[in-house]
Structure 1
């Protein structure tokens, strides 16, 4: 009997969460305007209650999947009685309604985290921040309840069994990719809320920046891992062997990542020097707005993609209105209030301030480049001006040179000084790193590939320039210590986070460079007993067998791989047919390694006992995702820096109006 009312309980919990979000959006903000501490105090318990009821709603939907309650339309469309229980759990976010519920749950979770970790901040600031987050929650919960209710019923004509989860999503990647990606998307709502709260309160001091930085780093780290997992999933699940396709939905996640990267650097300048305040606020608004834009692109039905959820136009219209209101109102607040928190602090053209400004400008240009390439074809189509396709040639032609310029300034930044620096001194510091990077990058293609390759050398010189300049900066910081260990301990976690994050980008650049230039792919026709050689490895097909899984049947090939006449290992690529949907899928066989992957995808039965196979040798491809994990680890290291939690003494200090005042405030 309880199982029959679980969907109603979930629906009721969603309504209660909406009511709490409405009160959270209005009462604490009114309390700050009327100076009523009791009203401001409502913010924290309301944020906790909202998260509690969202969690109850989410658990009720999960229970409906596990109990095979096909009277719930969302369960009937995305599950099946043969689906393994672990995929039933992840099917909760496998389509539109459940993914928006997960988004809302995480939004409530971030609000709850802010309410629990804000004891050192002024009460009025916490009230404003949670009130803004409540407003965002109201928009998404209205979206869920009005257009995307996951608890809608099919009574009395419920099906006997469900349509099954999309076979593309029946994979371990779905277990971890969407939650990580959403944690990043939604996490930027915190710094957005802080930006709006700072504008309304007319205060953007050192305490504000110190407290906003770890939240931004944490959201950025989650988004970095989410993007990397999406790339990894596409690599092995789709059977193409590619790691990035400039797919519009992939671009939708890259946009807030680029803007968030600029925001992290801008916050560093605002904290250290008190400058870039208006720019930091605008980046905070832009980053979260781009997260909402990604939601619109994925869930409006305007895109055709393996990642997108095709839905009715009403949902797209609702999200577009929500996006317009969020962007429009936040920019209006910015236009009215930014002059109260902005002021200029001087610096010379050669200083860390200037280099970080150039870094920000390049990241914004890269963001605009990707945004135009993604949205422009959609606008032309919507206006009836024809259809065009913007693909990898456009993105590579613009994005790659901009990345090279970014790497140049990334190498200069850590070794420079705030406010001003002698060009001669910076040149002396980095001359050795620059020469070493050029020499090693010029020689490496001969050593690895046997001949010189311009593009490989350019990619390697960018990566080595970042690594060697970081090494020089680290040497300068520890050389005067009594010993190496003491010098290392003196460096803050935030500094180590910067080092690890920049190293991660260098590792990713090496991976991109090597796999793009040395990848070997062969499309072959093999029958049992046949073999083919690829990149020095011999792939011999020994035979095929039929295998039955929980909800599919598969043709499984046995491929023996040998090198120099010696058997190394066996690979088992599959061609699956999922029974509920009758949908065929390729399950790739991978032999991973730090320096190379071997990749075999089983294609179609060619009818004479032979099969089509795609065999690939992919050097350094794992470095793509290793670099992303290092970048995320760098963000996490910065989060644990204790400096960001020492804000109580500075919480009530006013904004300094000049450089000397800023130094006084830091004393």
Structure 2
């Protein structure tokens, strides 16, 4: 019965979405308050219906209701409860339901927290959001219904893909979708503003909190996905430039550019055309990622293997919203003005520089991702564009961008002084030079690039701290006064510093692990030892264990450091009988920011020697800790009372005489 209730709630949500997609925009057009008032009500009612639908599907998984096709294909009665719940979104149909639920949550949040938005803009935003929601609800009901019945019901299910039976799946997809889908609000604001004819600094202030919220979630989601693949797949890598990884990275790059561009538009009423275009392109890249994952055109551990016919449906949605929004933009762009003029050396100029390189980087990743697919469609030739291409093209684009990051906060609006900014950054410059010298002095071999990479990372980290110290007046006023000023700084200042420091920390981890990682591949028998990067790894033997829905052979190792300290490490090979699939469970020991990573390979035919792969990964955890700092920076900025999630209050005078479209 709960399954039918969930299906019925999904149909009702579609009906309400249709109402929301028509009446509020019509009310905005006719200036009819009653029609515009239907937007918030239908948005909140729609999210409640989708919550009911999602709860019904979750109940079917928890109860192992094998009369539902989706549960049969992705669950098993012996599966642990946590993975029964996460299995709800560990498949195409369930994840699409989560996707639309999050879309509805963002729309209803605008309805509830956007009380100070101009009524016509709010109505159009909710209308555009409903257009997207309607399209994807139709996609679910027509091609990807998660509530289809299986008659007769089988006694048992097929279990979930073993690599998805991990705590990372409980965290990674929801965070990623909150980022992916969250950019729909920026898109809706952009399209609504183009329809409404209002593009001004106030619009940028309204859209920036929503963009920041989505960006923080996407940052955390990408980091969690990277770490999940790192420890779950047993390959020892943290990034592979997989096309589906790129699909989430592209909107992150574009969204980062949008955040900085919106800041210029808010503060200086400049870059209006570019900011609106970025809002459209960022969500367009999110839609492109959805198409790549669900169309069947990619083969990836991250991708859902689905019927290509579903890909045609998503491609139609893609063309409708991307083509429609860009056509509207082209129609309205000629009526928009670029805004105030500024010198190249200024804070605006630094942010434009930031946008230039971030957008170029996103375009580079887009070309590298889509070119093999396009070539195969046109010529039938299959090629692979991997890490060498991306490292060669993406890396050089990031270097000038990171060099410029600390300068931005020290440049004045409209016209700045680059030399004066450099003089205020002398501590960061000195720290970077020291880092380069230390790396060259205490490492062996040709480490020039590694030393420069360390220097660049330290430059970004210390530069972000110098910004806070400078704002507090440290060194110019008494220490007590500086401390009081520091405590009184706006939270957005701390958020910016945290985010920039996070970028530096991630870069530090990337440079360290790429330059100084060691790998040892050997065959070992119980009692044997091997030296890896100055540490001894002893193989203590194998133990067989039974899990709730798997069998595993556990390898027991002891890590012996040069000082004699010993640490046990366990790694395992698992086998899931229902799916007939093996997995590798890596053994990882973390000390400070570095890790020793051990993975088991195949055993010899006689059951004696076992292939063992051992990596030492210096400072690798900084890659993900840096991403956490970035996300926390976004949260800190959102907590600033001047940048609440919602619209800023406008004065009565401003409300009475709105600025005409530019």
Q: TM-score, normalised by structure 1?
A: 0.95
1:398 aligns with 2:393: yes
Shift in alpha-carbon separation, 1:553–1:199, aligned structure 2, 3 A: same
CA contact (8 A) 1:511 1:620 kept: yes
Do 1:522 and 1:534's aligned partners in 2 also have CA atoms closer than 8 Å? yes
Distance 1:652 1:541 in 2: 77
List per-residue Cα deviations over 1:579-631 (Å, max 9, x = no partner). Answer: 21121111111111333101111111112311111111111010000000000
C-alpha distance in 2, partners of 1:372/1:291? 15
2:462 to 452, 463, 468: 468
Q: Which range moves more in the overlay, 235-244 or 631-640?
A: 631-640
**1:467-486 pair list within 5 angstroms:** 467-479=461-473, 483-486=481-484
* One of 329, 332, 335 as aligned partner of 1:334: 329
Report the counterpart of residue 623 of structure 2 in structure 1.
624
Gaps of 5+ in 1: 659-667
Residue of 39, 42, 45 corresponding to 1:43: 39
CA distance in 2, matches of 1:324, 1:147: 18
TM-score (norm 2): 0.96
Q: Offset at 1:67?
A: 1.3
2:294 and 2:661 map into 1 onto residues whose CA distance is 45
Please say if residues 442 and 452 of structure 1, whose CA atoms lie closer than 8 Å, have aligned partners that are also in contact.
no
Answer whether contact 2:518 2:532 (CA < 8 A) is retained.
yes
Whether the aligned pair in 1 keeps the contact of 2:468 and 2:493 (CA below 8 Å) is no
Does residue 146 (structure 1) correspond to residue 142 (structure 2)? The answer is: yes
Q: For 1:70, what is the secondary structure of its paired residue?
A: coil
Map 1:85-100; keep pairs closer than 5 Å.
85-100=81-96
TM-superposed CA distance for 1:142, in Å, is 0.6
Shift of 1:455: 1.7
Aligned equivalent of 1:638: 637
Partner of 2:556: 558
Secondary structure, aligned partner of 1:592: strand
Take 1:432 and 1:527, find their aligned partners in 2: how far apart are those partners? 53
Between the two proteins, the alignment pairs up a number of residues equal to 652
Residues in 2 aligned to 1:567 and 1:475: alpha-carbon distance in whole angstroms: 40
- 1:647 is displaced (CA, Å) by 2.6
Measure the CA separation in 2 of the matches of 1:472 and 1:194.
35
Name which of structure 1's ranges 127-136 and 557-566 shifts more when overlaid on structure 2: 557-566
1:356-393 C-alpha deviation (Å, 9 max, x unpaired): 11110100000000000000100111123411110100
Matches within 5 A, 1:19-38: 19-38=15-34
Alignment of 1:174 with 2:169, yes or no, is yes
2:180 paired residue number: 185
Question: Does the CA-based 8 Å contact 2:200-2:272 persist in structure 1?
Answer: no
Cα pair distance change 1:436/1:128, threshold 3 Å: same
Quote the offset at 1:125 in angstroms. 1.6
User: Partner of 2:591: helix, strand, or coil?
Assistant: coil
Which stretch of the first structure deviates more once superposed, 538-547 or 275-284? Answer: 538-547
> Of the candidates 12, 18, 21, which is equivalent to residue 16 of structure 1?
12
Gaps of 5+ in 2: none
Q: Larger deviation: 468-477 or 227-236?
A: 468-477
303, 308, 313: which one pairs with 2:308? 313
1:477, 1:129 → 2: CA distance?
Answer: 37
Q: Separation in 1 of the partners of 2:513 and 2:502?
A: 17
- Cα RMSD over matched residues? 1.6
CA distance in 1, matches of 2:45, 2:500: 40
Q: CA–CA distance in 2 between the matches of 1:261 and 1:351?
A: 19
Q: Deviations over 1:429-479 (max 9, x none)?
A: 3355334412322323423x3556112112112112222333333333221
- The aligned counterpart of 1:647 is 649
Contact 2:197 2:661 in 1 (8 A): no
SS of the residue aligned with 1:604? strand
**1:60 aligns to what?**
56
Cα distance, 1:201–1:554 mapped onto 2, change above 3 Å: same
Query: SS of 1:554's equivalent?
Result: strand
Matched, 1:604 2:606: no
Q: 1:143 to 1:652 in 2, by over 3 A?
A: farther
Corresponding position of 2:543: 545
| 2: CA distance, partners of 1:21 / 1:463 | 47
Q: Is the CA contact (8 Å cut-off) linking 1:10 and 1:151 kept in structure 2?
A: yes
Q: Which range moves more in the overlay, 467-476 or 544-553?
A: 467-476
2:437 match: 442
What is the alpha-carbon distance in structure 2 between the residues aligned to residue 619 and residue 332 of structure 1? Answer: 50
1:120 counterpart SS class: coil
Which residue of structure 2 aligns with residue 288 of structure 1? 283
Paired residues of 1:602 and 1:613 also in contact (CA < 8 A): yes
Q: Distance in 1 between matches of 2:388 and 2:535?
A: 32
User: What is the deviation of 1:571?
Assistant: 1.0
